[in-house]
Amino acid sequence: MNYRDTMNVNKKGHLQIGGVDAVDLVNKYGTPLYVMDESYIRSVCRAFRETVEKTYGEGGVAYASKAFSCKAIYEIAMQENMYIDVVSGGEIYTANSVGFDMKKAYFHGNNKLISEIKLALNVGVGTFVVDSFDEIDLLDSVCAENGIVQKVLIRVNPGVEAHTHSFIQTAKVDSKFGFGVKNGYADEAIDKILGKNNLRFAGLHCHIGSQIFDKQAFALAVDVVTDYVVRLKERGVVVDELNFGGGFGVYYSGDDPKYDVKEYCDYVALLTSSLKNAVEKKGIKKPFFMIEPGRSIVGEAGVTLYSVGAIKEIKGIRKYLAIDGGMTDNIRPALYDAKYDAVLANRANEKATEVVSVAGKCCESGDIILKDIALPAAKRGDIVAVFTTGAYNYSMSSNYNRNFVPPVVFVKDGKSAYAVKPQTYEDLVRNDVSLEYKD
């Protein structure tokens, strides 16, 4: 765990988040429960924005809302003067429903549906990040029908691929995302856009990966993309905006670096300084600068609380603690072997005395949330707190086995409030109907 001023262990030895005792949260809301630390989210938003302002100037920070999407988070993004990145009609609808200024939305996706394009135009989404030749034709024709000239970026594939602790520069052209810079597809896409009456080409977008710790990967992306801007300039194409996506790594477990908010800003500062240098050195127009972090804004803000139920020991092999949630609220361990850190929230000061695995309650052998985690000897009713579950947990949740998706509670200054209410059995059957064939 990466403790901070808004997440620590209180005098009772209980985990405390946003000034609220986790045991009190469990007594009030039950388990499983997603808890989000509002002050932390706001502090990251502010720090990122201020870093862009101080180190670069003209630019913005878009919250990549696929990481965690619900009405409350768009309200917070709005209050924090953030832009947002949206990837579906559902995200657009949710943001728009709380009055988010959709001019500040970037609409991504490799297969935007016609219905989603229409919704986006209808609510005035500011920027489309175009990702296929097909989309260029489709978007232009829908814009023409509606008398709109739409600002667009194209998503480019710069051939920089970053993973957690390393990156590679590839000539890899096999990706479902982006137009290749090296194979000429990006040139072709831009020419096509410039030939359309209802599209206005504004610049380039790239996103080189996720959970990246090697900051140099971002500097390399800036270098490759600005080289391309130089080539575009030679062809008479003006680039007003560059968007470098998201991907900043956060602490989950083990050797992951434990950054505080200031250190997260180093990612941003490296991007802006690389871009400023490139602008000077390469003699290009200083572009509007955008980034789109998701995980680094909400990831560490989230903690999931579970109750320990059945305990099963296979002598000499493994002890399983079963919890009342699992892959329905956190698919990441099953999906990509993601590792987490955890404590017993009601005994957070106690020494770990055994290594156990924490299993979910779903009917899947792979439904293991924590493999080999050191904890104090747990009993039924103890509370397991899993850290860094704010990103890609709730947003990837499901009702598999007809389990409930847990409610989401925000905490701040010693208070708590629902952001997403609990589901009921009635919710689970809401759209179910008895078969009634009609000819």
Ligand X SMILES: *Cc1c(COP(=O)(O)O)cnc(C)c1O
Chain residues binding ligand X by CB under 6 A are 64, 66-67, 85, 108, 207, 210, 245-248, 292-296, 391
Rounded least distance, CB 417 to ligand X, Å: 25
What tokens does 37 get? 């630390």
Report the alpha-carbon distance of residue 207 to residue 156 in Å, rounded.
8
Closest by CA position to 222, among listed 154, 272, 259: 272
In the bound state with ligand X, the residue whose beta carbon lies nearer, of 215 and 361, is 215
In the bound state with ligand X, the residue whose beta carbon lies nearer, of 201 and 392, is 392
Quick check: 133 and 126 in contact, CB under 8 A?
no
CB burial readout 164-173, b (16+ within 10 A) else e = eeebeeeeee
Rounded least distance, CB 176 to ligand X, Å: 11
Q: Tell me which of 45, 70, 362, 363 is the catalytic residue.
A: 363
Report the alpha-carbon distance of residue 96 to residue 83 in Å, rounded.
13
Element housing 26 (H / E): helix 22-29
Give just the sign of the alpha carbon dihedral 194, 198, 201, 206: negative
In the bound state with ligand X, the residue whose beta carbon lies nearer, of 102 and 359, is 102
Taking CB atoms, the residue at the shortest distance from ligand X is: 246
Helix, strand or coil, per DSSP, at residue 261: helix
In the bound state with ligand X, the residue whose beta carbon lies nearer, of 68 and 100, is 68
What tokens does 264 get? 């997260």
What tokens does 366 get? 């792979």
Residue 338 burial by Cβ neighbours in a 10 Å radius (0-12, 13-18, 19+)? middle
Rounded least distance, CB 130 to ligand X, Å: 12
Q: Catalytic: 265?
A: no
Rounded least distance, CB 165 to ligand X, Å: 15
Rounded least distance, CB 380 to ligand X, Å: 36
In the bound state with ligand X, the residue whose beta carbon lies nearer, of 104 and 295, is 295
Which of the 8 DSSP states describes residue 138? H
What tokens does 325 get? 């949630």
Give the residue numbers marked as catalytic: 363
